[in-house]
Amino acid sequence: MLGNKIGDRRGKITGQRVLPSDGHGPKVETSFQQSGSFMGVETAEMGTYWSVVRPDGTLYGEGQGVLMGQNGEMGTWVGQGAGKITGPGGAVSFRGAVYVQSSSEAWSGLNAVACVYEYETDANGNTRTQIWEWK
């Protein structure tokens, strides 16, 4: 069951590169920066994920990132997801799970919680991520 919405951030893709495909279709690495709220704290985020196009045209990806709160909070995340290309210019939509690790008091409660996310990009490289607790 989905719990509370714990994050809403917007940002921009900062770089992309093509990776070796491992024989499973085109593979692209994407880096981004976002800002917004996370567990009630204004937060800056940096992240990188790779995605591969599967034979049916859908996407699978994995990523990692760093969260930095305005009051010195710090955390990392890893995640996986599935998605699709939604338009020209690399616009994509992903849904998946993300796992946060933090020793900061504001975020350490997530160390034992799975979270689910929605991640969107548009043709101009704008990003939006929304995150919910998975109870």
Q: What is the pTM of this model?
A: 0.94
pLDDT of 135 reads 82
Which residue range is the domain that position 23 belongs to? 2-134
The whole-angstrom separation of Cα 111 and Cα 38 is 14
pLDDT for 66 equals 98
> Can you give the pLDDT at residue 1?
77
For the chain (length 135 residues), average pLDDT per consecutive 10? Answer: 93 97 90 97 98 96 98 97 93 97 95 97 97 93
| Residue 82 three-state SS | strand
List all residues 6 or more positions away from 129 whose beta carbon is below 8 Å from its beta carbon. 7, 8, 9, 10, 34, 117, 118, 119, 120
- The position carrying tokens 């504001």 is 106
What per-residue confidence (pLDDT) applies to 21?
A: 87
Domain count, the chain: 1
The CATH number given to whatever domain includes residue 66 is 2.40.160.20
pLDDT at 126: 98
The confidence score (pLDDT) of residue 119 equals 98
Q: Rounded to whole angstroms, how far apart are CA atoms 110 and 118?
A: 18
